[in-house]
Every structure is written in C-alpha cells, then in structure tokens.
C-alpha cells in the first residue's frame, strides 16, 4: 500500500510517498513559492534528485500535478502510474472539538473543516486548499484522509483544557486548550511503548517535542491528559521565536508604553520572542550553544530559561499523572540537543530520573539514555509525523 502524505502551507507543499507497512519512503520533496514563481524539489529513493527546479505553480493544483508527474516519470519516477497511490493523508492543523481522530474526507468533513478556520486562520485554509487540489487532480476515487494536529489531545479532561475565563467563552466561542503536535506525540508514545516492551495502556509518559516549536504532553494509557500548547501554538514553553506562557497583563502594558497595535504586539510574541528574544542572537539552538560557549550571557540565559521551563512542566505532569514511567525527547532539539537534554533532566534524580551521560551522547536515533538503575526511563525517539499520517490513513482506508 502506498500513501501520499501532504502537508500544505499557504505557499508551500511538503509531500512524501511511503508504504506504511514496510515504512519505506519511495520519494519525498517540497513545492515552494506556490502562487509566486514555483520551485520544486524531489528526492526519490536511490535515484537522481531534483533540487530547486523552476516549475510554474500558480496554484496548489499545479503543485500536486508536478508531484504526480515526478512520481510516475519514466526516468526517476518511483511508481508506474497514479493507480499505485492508494490514498492521500493530509496534515490538518486544527480539528477543533469536531475531530478526535483522523477521518475520511467527505463533503460533511470539508464543511466541518471550514468551520474550524477561525481557530487556525493561518493554517487551515492552506490545508483545505491542499485537499481540494488533490481531489481536483487525482479524482474522487482516490480516498483522502485528514490527520489533525489537535486530535490526539481531545482526550484531555475538562480540568486540563478549561481556561479560567467566563464559561460562556468556552460554550459560545470554543475558547479552550486544544494542544498541537498531536501526531508527533502520538507517534513517539507508541514507539516508547514498543521500546519499553509494555502495553501503552499501562504507561505514564511525558513527551517533550522540542524543536523550533515546542510542546510537552502528559500521556497516560496512550491518551493525552494535558499539554503545554493551548488555544493556539503560542502557549507553553519558550520556543524559537514564540514567547510561550506569559502574564496577559504584559500585553496591555507594552501596547500602551510603545504604542503597538495588537497586530504588532502579536508579531512580537510570535516572531521576536522565545529564545531569539531573550538571546538577541538566534532562534536556532546550535547558534545559541555556539554563542554561549563564546561567553554570550544572554544566549546562555535563553538556553537556561528554556531548560528550566521544560523541567517545570515535567514536574507538573508527573504530579498530574501521579508518576511517570518514561520521559521522551523528540524533534530537532530533543533528538539532537545532547546538552539540552542533560540540563533538563539534571536535578530530577529525586524522582528516579537518572541519565547515563555516555548513552546520552547520541543524535537522531532511538536510544534509552537513562542509567541502568533509573526508575524512570529517558528515551530519545526521532519523530516521524509523515509515517504516523500514513499509518492513520491506511487504517482509515482499510476500514
């Protein structure tokens, strides 16, 4: 079975053709500058790659057509015809409260997706455009499945998702914690259960997805119980450029003091804050580590503030679940940030978390990096959202 996984942005489209059973990636790549001039990248397994080719892509439909042509191309294609694509799995950012799992896309589902647009005005329209383009180019006979970033977190109890605001804002305006990175947290939690050789139903896990965007999730019995991102992906720990949690009173204070309008203020919170904001150096953890090593104290403070915040949530979620069996590190920083991982767990020995420094000297591989006598495992698990989307899509289509 071959699944085409699509992650459509407003002017870009990431794709991957893979077999969820063998986990083999047949080809992957990226369409960029859609609606501008069009750049196409295609990497087939074991064949010649195309990089940054100029291809006119006035809309997402031409982008999908370009992808399909490359996949069936007689020289460096990977399938004989489009018939070898069994289904398409689309990453959709926001499913609101309407979707607690992946779904086969029907007209009703499309209408429900449109209703979720106010919750993710930057992302959902692009995801919907990607779906429409696939249906247009591939025809209605190829099943399309939506896999949501928010769906995994729909199991959170009301105590975790309710904000302490007048209750009608939840009832009428759907203001609540939704959480994001769900596909990643779900994937790594399943891998963690496999690594530990235990049924996921018996496990209490804390998944730390630490990348340019970061979120921590408490996962009990395979279900999300709490997560750091909220109504939007701005909440939680400090991120590359996003502030994470902050006192809402700061917003009015800074707007009054500097004459910012709300758009400027949100731009600061989304694009100029986080570790970039504190350090004044970069949003990239490698740059921050280099700068800190050279004695830049703001860069060091940014790294320390990030580690401290992640550590606090680990403590909070262990308290919320009444214990923890394993802490998972994933995404760019979680998979590669040897020092960051070590700093985050240092001081947690009292709760049975003990790292093996030698084992922790690893990057981008599935490894248990905890000391032999630790009672809480520390697992490094590379995330694979595309594979999770393909597996979900295969399950739905198989029904």
Catalytic residues: 149
Residue number with CB closer to ligand AMP (51 or 363): 363
The residues, ordered by sequence, that sit 6+ positions from 343 with a Cβ below 8 Å of its Cβ are 303, 304, 307
For residues 357 and 371, give the distance between their C-alpha atoms in angstroms, rounded to a whole number: 8
Residue number with CB closer to ligand AMP (103 or 239): 239
Say which DSSP state 38 is in: -
For residues 56 and 74, give the distance between their C-alpha atoms in angstroms, rounded to a whole number: 21
State the nearest-atom distance from the C-beta of 87 to ligand AMP, in Å: 26
Which tokens belong to 100?
């607690």
> Which span sits near ligand AMP by CB under 6 A: 141-149, 242-250, 281-289, 303-311?
281-289
Q: Which of 29, 38, 332, 382 binds ligand AMP (CB under 6 A)?
A: 332
Residue number with CB closer to ligand AMP (129 or 214): 214
User: Per CB under 6 A, does 245 bind ligand AMP?
Assistant: no
Give, as ranges, the residues between 204 and 233 that touch ligand AMP (CB under 6 A): 211-212
User: Per CB under 6 A, does 130 bind ligand AMP?
Assistant: no
For residues 26 and 2, give the distance between their C-alpha atoms in angstroms, rounded to a whole number: 9
Q: Which of 99, 180, 285, 329 binds ligand AMP (CB under 6 A)?
A: 285
Q: Which of 203, 237, 333, 348 binds ligand AMP (CB under 6 A)?
A: 333
Residue 353: which of 334, 375, 328, 379 has the closest Cα?
Answer: 375
User: Per CB under 6 A, does 244 bind ligand AMP?
Assistant: no
User: Per CB under 6 A, does 183 bind ligand AMP?
Assistant: no
State the nearest-atom distance from the C-beta of 271 to ligand AMP, in Å: 15
For residues 376 and 344, give the distance between their C-alpha atoms in angstroms, rounded to a whole number: 14
State the nearest-atom distance from the C-beta of 367 to ligand AMP, in Å: 15
How many residues bind ligand AMP (CB under 6 A)? The answer is 12
> Which span sits near ligand AMP by CB under 6 A: 250-258, 303-311, 333-341, 354-362?
333-341
User: Per CB under 6 A, does 329 bind ligand AMP?
Assistant: no
Neighbours of 301 (CB within 10 A): 15
State the nearest-atom distance from the C-beta of 210 to ligand AMP, in Å: 8
State the nearest-atom distance from the C-beta of 112 to ligand AMP, in Å: 29
Neighbours of 362 (CB within 10 A): 15
Q: Assign 3-state DSSP to the chain and report helix, strand, coil percentages, each to 5.
A: 40, 20, 40
52-147-104-94 Cα dihedral, nearest 10 degrees: -100
State the nearest-atom distance from the C-beta of 283 to ligand AMP, in Å: 6
Q: How many residues does the chain have?
A: 399
Q: Which of 165, 286, 319, 361 binds ligand AMP (CB under 6 A)?
A: 286
The residues, ordered by sequence, that sit 6+ positions from 349 with a Cβ below 8 Å of its Cβ are none
Q: Maximum Cα–Cα distance for the chain, whole Å?
A: 63
Residue number with CB closer to ligand AMP (15 or 306): 306
How would you label 83-103 residue by residue, b for 16+ Cβ within 10 Å and e otherwise? eebbbbbbbbbbbbebbeebb
Contact present, 266 and 251 (Cβ < 8 Å): no
Give, as ranges, the residues between 343 and 372 that touch ligand AMP (CB under 6 A): 363
Contact present, 30 and 12 (Cβ < 8 Å): yes
Question: How are beta strands 326-330 and 377-380 bridged, if at all?
Answer: parallel
Residue number with CB closer to ligand AMP (12 or 61): 12
Residue number with CB closer to ligand AMP (109 or 234): 234
Residues near ligand AMP (CB under 6 A): 211-212, 240, 284-286, 331-333, 336-337, 363
């Amino acid at each position: 079975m071959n699944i085409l996984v699509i992650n459509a942005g407003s002017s870009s489209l990431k794709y991957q053709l893979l077999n969820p059973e063998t986990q083999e990636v047949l080809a992957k790549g990226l369409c960029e500058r859609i609606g501008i001039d069009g750049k196409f990248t295609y990497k087939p397994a074991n064949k010649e790659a195309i990089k940054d080719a100029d291809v006119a892509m006035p809309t997402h439909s031409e982008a999908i057509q370009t992808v399909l042509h490359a996949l069936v191309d007689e020289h460096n294609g990977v399938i004989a015809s489009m018939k070898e694509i069994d289904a398409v799995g689309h990453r959709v950012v926001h499913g609101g409260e309407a979707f607690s799992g992946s779904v086969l896309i029907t007209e009703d589902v499309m209408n429900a997706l449109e209703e979720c647009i106010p919750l993710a005005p930057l992302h959902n329209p692009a995801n919907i455009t990607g779906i429409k383009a696939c249906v247009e180019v591939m025809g209605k006979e190829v099943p399309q499945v939506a896999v949501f970033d928010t769906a995994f977190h729909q199991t959170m109890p009301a105590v975790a998702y309710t904000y302490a605001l007048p209750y009608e804002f939840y009832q009428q305006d759907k203001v609540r914690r939704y959480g994001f990175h769900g596909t990643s947290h779900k994937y790594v939690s399943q891998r963690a259960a496999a690594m530990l050789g235990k049924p996921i139903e018996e496990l209490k896990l804390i998944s730390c997805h630490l990348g340019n965007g970061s979120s921590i999730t408490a996962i009990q019995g395979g279900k999300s119980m709490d997560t750091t991102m909220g109504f939007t992906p701005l909440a939680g720990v400090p991120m590359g450029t996003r502030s994470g949690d902050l006192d809402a009173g700061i917003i009015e204070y800074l707007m009054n003091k500097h004459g910012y309008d709300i758009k400027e203020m949100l731009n600061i919170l989304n694009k100029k804050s986080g570790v970039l904001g504190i350090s004044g150096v970069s949003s990239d953890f490698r740059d921050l580590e280099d700068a800190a090593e050279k004695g830049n104290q703001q860069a060091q403070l940014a790294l320390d503030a990030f580690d401290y915040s992640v550590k606090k949530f680990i403590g909070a979620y262990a308290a919320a679940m009444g214990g923890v069996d394993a802490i998972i590190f994933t995404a760019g920083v979680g998979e590669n940030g040897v020092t960051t991982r070590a700093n985050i767990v240092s001081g947690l020995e009292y709760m049975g978390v003990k790292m093996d420094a030698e084992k922790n000297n690893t990057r981008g591989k599935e490894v248990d990096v905890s000391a032999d006598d630790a009672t809480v495992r520390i697992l490094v698990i590379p995330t694979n959202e595309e594979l999770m989307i393909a597996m979900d899509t295969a399950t739905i289509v198989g029904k």
